Structure 1
Amino acid sequence: MKKIAILNYYMACGGTEKAMIALLNSLDYSKIQVTLYLLFKEGPLLNDIPKQVDVQEIKFKKNKYRNYVSGIRGANIIQTSCLKLERKIFKILNQVNYEDGTIFEAVLDQVIVPDIEFDLVCDFSGYGLFPTVVAAKLFRAKRKCTWIHGEKCSWLKRTERSLDYFDRIFCVSISARKNFLKLYPQFQEKTEVFYNLINVSEIRDGAEAFVVSDVMEEDNVLLTVGRIVEEKGYDIAVKTALKLKEKKIPFTWYFIGDGNKKEELQSLINKFNLQKDIILLGRKDNPYPYMKKCTLYVQPSRNEGYPVVIVEARALGCVIVASDIPSIGEQIIDGVNGYLVQLDEKAFANKIEELLRDEEKREKVKKELQNEKIDYSDNIKKLYNLL
């Protein structure tokens, strides 16, 4: 029985976590034993982890060090303020900071390492986070691998000193690999593309789990799903909505998701008086029935890795209008199985108007998607090759 350790941050409702669950669901548990180590054993997708997986929280000699290498999480305002002050003093005394990852190195000796030699250790966190350093420098294994989830790699500065420890570096798209190798050409031989595994049947079954009846009853329904963060371009979506309203195009745009830019987003919606045109639905554990019901699925992302939500939208036959960035261009052929537009509110508004007025074009894309094969299951062999 082979032993695999997988490390991640926590089980947020994001594409990275969904991809990891799909990976876990693809493993043969008659031959391997998997332990998942999370920096925080929490999150909305925690219950979606296969029951065969032993889920552990990365342990520290003192729990305060967990907060030093992550976002401060106090039980109340006073405790949060105290923890922030403690971390500030720690950084000054040790002359370290978060931006270059030196604080990660300073905290390593406070981690309680499992006394096991694994056959394979996989760092799936992949965004310059503390679990990457733990996987690289503390866990014992015959072989190790890590994931690069984004085409923007600036965050790797925090963990670049750990890259030498990995035998394989998996990038989730061609564009992610290309951008990674621009920064770290010395790792070309051990870097390859590993597309996120997606269970299309589960997505389609999820779309039938319930009928959306309380919202999305309008004729022209737009939908965007994802974390409300700068990378996802929600501000561009709001400005696009303003352009559509100025053109007197009838529409209602629903946003599904949550994130650190939610308050800014609501302020922008209020500023342009779009409260009746843009509806924030918050996070949904199952967004697929909503996706199935929309007229157009719109994704104005600034950068991505290999966006799972675009795969999901394709699987559900959504007519997609997305920003013309490399990682999305690996999935969408403009005018065939969706539409790619310049990352600009005017371009988005023009394309949305065109498609809302032309049902024939929408039906043509839907027909193409019905015949499209979405299957990345062969990628699992790349992981097994490391055992």
Structure 2
Amino acid sequence: MKRNLLFVIPSLSAGGGEKSLVNLLSQINFEYYNVDLFLFTHDGIFMGYLPKEVNVINLPEDYKLFSLPLLYSIKELFIKGKFNLIYNRMKFALNNKSNKIVSIKEQESWKYISKSLDKLERNYDVAIGFLEKTSTYFCVDKVNASKKIGWVHIDYDQLGMNPNYDIKYFNKLSNIVTVSEECANILRKKFPSQSKKIEVIYNIVSPSVINKMANIEESLYDKHHKEINIISIGRLHYQKGFEVAIEACKKLRDKGFKIKWNIIGDGEEREKLIKLIKENDLQNHFKLLGLKANPYPYIKQADIYVQTSRFEGKSIAIDEAKILNKPIVVTNFSTAKDQINDGVDGLIVDMNSNSVAIGIEKLIKDNYLRNNLVHNLSNLKLGTEEEIEKLYKLCD
């Protein structure tokens, strides 16, 4: 008999966790598993990549009304006579306005959002909250399942969350999965009572799929003589440190290097970054390309991949750049050494614009180093499709 699995994630918009879920679902053996997916928002660039066997659960009507803009939400809820939900919708809005820390805001918001959601009718063998916070809270409070699993995709210490809030939910989970050994060590230190529950399952990446998709488009860059094309991928968010990238680009430009640096991603810092680009007169050198469902041709055709993050769990984008054999420069965030062996398959530099610029300059000037990195990358086994077996083990 097939086992019934439920995955929960806020949306399938751009992001490492979202891409990780789509990759994981593409590897599941649907002969043995029925898979439902609960999304709080039914949109995002990865929706079209879901396997056809995955059943996306319809959103409850009360939640649809609750999630409308405030005045529209109150009006529609009033018409329906949902006065308790009106109270909670207003409290939700006040919480979002008064709470300055994004992660704390999301934690505190759950008690108001949850009022608009009933328990799911179906019983599951395993329910998986595939992102920290709301996805896990939903699994614990709103799902009947024999086993419940929470997934943490990031360095927990860097999230700015209230661990006293999470421990109440972690206590009710069968397992807590994270994406790297360093992330697991951080969780064990933060939640020693949960140590035995913590498991590592690496993000699933498939070299065959990535290489196939990388060849779909040709000649994305209008390359000029001695021009260096750099690519970075990530949400336009403080975590990714793209203002450091802009400063590094300026330093390289001022030294006379012909640089074209493209960023794939979108987010709340777009306007701030556009302003910085203009202030530094980098409009012809630093471009925000927005979201791309298929970023692989951009990576393949670039000369260098750069990641200027302040913190990461395990970056899928870095793994993808490694698969496409790109020389890589990453900042020294806490989990960088989980992915890059400095000087062997990439360079790890200090978390400032000067160090990033020096690392890039080194790759531009030193042909031997650059070729050696590419050679070493080409000899690595980088596919992680077998990680799905770890999930099967937890589910069974």
TM-score of the superposition, structure 2-length normalised? Answer: 0.88
Residue equivalent to 1:173:
180
- Which digits, 9 at most, give the CA deviation of each residue in 1:13-56, with x for residues without a partner? 22111110111111111111000010111111101000001012
2:116 is the alignment partner of 1:120: no
Q: State the distance in 1 between where 2:286 and 2:340 align.
A: 26
Change (3 A) 1:281 1:110: closer
Q: State the distance in 1 between where 2:75 and 2:160 align.
A: 30
Change (3 A) 1:47 1:100: closer
Change (3 A) 1:101 1:355: closer
Change (3 A) 1:61 1:216: same
- Gaps (5+ residues) in structure 2? 77-85
Residue equivalent to 1:144:
148
- Which digits, 9 at most, give the CA deviation of each residue in 1:93-129, with x for residues without a partner? 99x9763734423443431322221110011022x22
Q: How many residues align?
A: 375
1:59–1:113 contact (8 Å) kept in structure 2 = no
Q: Structure 1 stretch 243-252 or stretch 137-146: which is displaced more?
A: 243-252
Residue equivalent to 1:203:
210
In the TM superposition, what is the alpha-carbon distance from 1:216 to its structure 2 partner?
A: 4.7
Q: Secondary structure at the match of 2:36?
A: strand
2:241 is the alignment partner of 1:233: yes
1:14–1:226 contact (8 Å) kept in structure 2 = yes
One-letter code aligned to 1:99: K
Q: Structure 1 stretch 105-114 or stretch 290-299: which is displaced more?
A: 105-114
Q: State the distance in 2 between where 1:256 and 1:81 align.
A: 37
Residue equivalent to 1:70:
none
Q: How does 1:164-313 map to 2 (within 5 A)?
A: 164-213=171-220, 215-217=222-224, 219-313=227-321
Change (3 A) 1:4 1:156: farther
Q: State the distance in 2 between where 1:64 and 1:287 align.
A: 35
In the TM superposition, what is the alpha-carbon distance from 1:322 to its structure 2 partner?
A: 0.6
Change (3 A) 1:81 1:63: closer
- Gaps (5+ residues) in structure 1? 68-72
In the TM superposition, what is the alpha-carbon distance from 1:156 to its structure 2 partner?
A: 5.6
1:216–1:294 contact (8 Å) kept in structure 2 = no
1:292–1:316 contact (8 Å) kept in structure 2 = yes
Q: State the distance in 1 between where 2:358 and 2:170 align.
A: 44
One-letter code aligned to 1:307: S
Q: Secondary structure at the match of 1:63?
A: helix
One-letter code aligned to 2:111: E
Give the counterpart of 1:108 among 104, 114, 125. 114
- Which digits, 9 at most, give the CA deviation of each residue in 1:245-278, with x for residues without a partner? 2222221211121111010000001111111111
One-letter code aligned to 2:144: R
TM-score of the superposition, structure 1-length normalised? Answer: 0.90
Residue equivalent to 1:357:
365
Residue equivalent to 2:21:
20
- Which digits, 9 at most, give the CA deviation of each residue in 1:166-222, with x for residues without a partner? 100001111211222222111000001111111111111111011034545562111
